[in-house]
Structure 1
Amino acid sequence: MKLGFPSKKVLLTGVNGFTGVHLKCALEDAGYQVFGVTHSRAAKTNQFTADLSDKRSLLEVIKSVSPDYVIHLAAISFVGHGDPNDFYRVNVLGTENLLQALVQSNVNLKKVIISSSANVYGNLGGVISENACPQPVNHYACSKLAMERIVENYFDALPIIITRPFNYTGVGQANHFLVPKIVSHFKDAKSVIELGNVDVYRDFSAVTFVADSYLKMLESNYKSEIFNICSGKSISLKEIIGHLEFVSGHKIDIKVNQSFVRKNEVTSITGDNAKLLQAFPELKVINIKNILENMLEE
């Protein structure tokens, strides 16, 4: 009789996104076999094209892969996305379709991780724990909170963890996001950058820290839980620019564009990572200054 190794197949939606690319590498390095779901044409091995709005296509993928684990990253995540309907069609109904397909497939799942967002907290400010009452203020955040409520209905049927990542960045993030935009200006030795309020403080993590958090959750016994993913510390945009000036030796002038300044903007937001680090003490928070230096060097 031939003894086989335990199956370690992961179905990862949003596999070609910023987080998905980093997470796929982390999973494969840990010995997992990763099968990706993408909305665009699947051009790589072990990738499938499926529309979250089409439950039947999702069910076909799940039955074909028969995964042991599922990590759901796929979403409309850019707050400035043009059509508000897409947030709800993809983020809410798409997730519902995926969960229904998982239940109907009768696959024996060890863990399902659903990515939400710290945007659900809205403008609470201060140090925010998972116990804070969400107060979403835009369609993206509202769709994510609605998604969470749908997901909670499946807690009895599936071993689910919901994550609420705060801001994170790293190599490979698109330049329309704030930190890559700033770094790219230094790489290109631009003399001026247009920004909004630079005196706001935000909690930034490394995308590799986020990927490592997902990996630890996948291998844990936790279920029916919500975890913040964050560094537990905040830094101002002015400090980020100051550090990049220091390490690059390049000075840049900040031009405040009033169209970038949000009304009633919260000056400081920090995530409480006590629950995360208590559950997974082996996780190592990466300092934002190290992240910036790595992005600048790439």
Structure 2
Amino acid sequence: MKDSVTIKKVIIIGVRGFIGSHLKTYLENKGYHVYGADVVVDYVAKNYFLIDATNGGFESVFREQAFDLCINCSGAASVPDSIRNPRRDYYLNTSNVFSLLNAIRDRQPNCRFINLSSAAVYGNPTSLPVAEEAIPRPLSPYGYHKYMSETICREFYEQFGLATCSLRIFSAYGEGLTKQIFWDLYQKSKAKRKVELFGSGNETRDFIYVLDLVRLIELIAIHGEFHGEAVNAASGIETSIRSAAETFFSYYPDPPQIRFTQTERQGDPSRWVADISKIKENYNYSPEFTLEEGLRRYYQWVQQKEKQ
């Protein structure tokens, strides 16, 4: 594992989102001094900055406090939405990263920066498991814009000497996530005895439980090179969509049937699994949660949410 740096004060951009909120709780429990920034108006908390995502104005955040680390968890996270409205997706996933880094360059050039990117930059990889050296071939505006955000991180490292790093997150899931496959399965199962999903069911993903993800983010924050590099964030385990859906429904007392439409959705890759050798070797990382355990926790969470 690489030498560590001391990090005390952290700012999370997008702190009210799925990953950002879990990261805040995790880092606070580890003793870090955590600040947050987001667009959520009806939220009041200590060390919270309300920001306007439409104008990229992050100067005030870095003018008021000095931070050791900034983690960007903000942005849009929908392939279909990026196809319907690429301008908005570009602004939230690419332009805002430039604005953040430019504010850091002006105000706090010693602040480290972690950008949450996506495995969508890979598109359909030509070989699996896919390593960080693979040539990006995005299939959607979302994938292109995430790759552009990585390029901006490299730009600010190479041109201005800022310490930057991007995480190519594969299929993150866990409590609090109210979109994507498992939430979709839950919502559909409430209304119908037969649940339909796009594709054949043989498509594969690499699922990473959110508590494994936030632990990896901390390891990279402390031990990362921060030379503008991109790093895979995944479990390294390939799982078919059919198997994942069946695992989730296995916790139901009376599970619904699953039917696949055999139709592809624009922007969706066919197979994904990450080569995680770098995070194993450089950060001594391996996932602690199996998909079965993570989905059991997620199922318990949606059941509790139903009762609220």
Q: Do they superpose with TM above 0.5?
A: yes
Q: What's the counterpart of residue 30 of structure 2?
A: 30
Distance 1:280 1:26 in 2: 18
Q: What's the counterpart of residue 243 of structure 1?
A: 247
> Per-residue deviation at 1:265?
5.9
Q: 1:226 aligns with which of 230, 240, 261?
A: 230
RMSD: 2.2
Which secondary structure does the structure 2 equivalent of 1:128 belong to? coil
Q: Which string of whole-angstrom CA distances, capped at 9 and with x for unpartnered residues, describes residues 137-193 of structure 1?
A: 11111111111111111114211111100011011101x31122224556x495111
Aligned in 2, Cα 1:244/1:283: closer, same or farther, shift over 3 Å? Answer: closer
Q: Which string of whole-angstrom CA distances, capped at 9 and with x for unpartnered residues, describes residues 33-72 of structure 1?
A: 11111123252221111234535x3111111121111001
Counterpart code for 1:49? L
Counterpart code for 2:238? S
Alignment gaps of 5+ in structure 2: 1-5, 302-308
* Amino-acid identity (%): 25
Q: 2:209 aligns with which of 198, 206, 222?
A: 206
Q: What's the counterpart of residue 304 of structure 2?
A: none
8 Å CA contact 2:119–2:170 kept in 1: the answer is yes
Counterpart code for 1:133? I
Q: What's the counterpart of residue 122 of structure 1?
A: 123
Q: What's the counterpart of residue 159 of structure 1?
A: 163
Mapping of residues 34-49 of structure 1, within 5 Å: 34-41=34-41, 42-49=43-50
Mapping of residues 126-275 of structure 1, within 5 Å: 126-156=128-158, 157-174=161-178, 176-184=179-187, 188=190, 190-197=192-199, 198-224=201-227, 225-257=229-261, 261-262=264-265, 266-275=269-278
Q: Which string of whole-angstrom CA distances, capped at 9 and with x for unpartnered residues, describes residues 191-211 of structure 1?
A: 111211222111101011111
Counterpart code for 2:116? S
Distance 2:118 2:7 in 1: 30
Distance 2:288 2:130 in 1: 17
Aligned in 2, Cα 1:185/1:147: closer, same or farther, shift over 3 Å? Answer: same
> Per-residue deviation at 1:106?
3.4
**Deviates further, 237-246 or 79-88:** 237-246
Aligned in 2, Cα 1:189/1:250: closer, same or farther, shift over 3 Å? Answer: farther
> Per-residue deviation at 1:93?
1.4
Which secondary structure does the structure 2 equivalent of 1:114 belong to? strand
When normalised by structure 2's length, the TM-score is 0.86
Q: What's the counterpart of residue 291 of structure 2?
A: 288
Distance 1:54 1:290 in 2: 41
Alignment gaps of 5+ in structure 1: 1-5
Distance 1:221 1:210 in 2: 15
Counterpart code for 1:151? C
When normalised by structure 1's length, the TM-score is 0.89
2:92 is the alignment partner of 1:90: yes
**Deviates further, 28-37 or 262-271:** 262-271
Aligned in 2, Cα 1:74/1:263: closer, same or farther, shift over 3 Å? Answer: closer
Distance 2:50 2:88 in 1: 18
Q: What's the counterpart of residue 3 of structure 1?
A: none
Distance 1:245 1:43 in 2: 37
Distance 1:265 1:221 in 2: 30
Q: What's the counterpart of residue 55 of structure 2?
A: 54
Q: What's the counterpart of residue 73 of structure 2?
A: 73
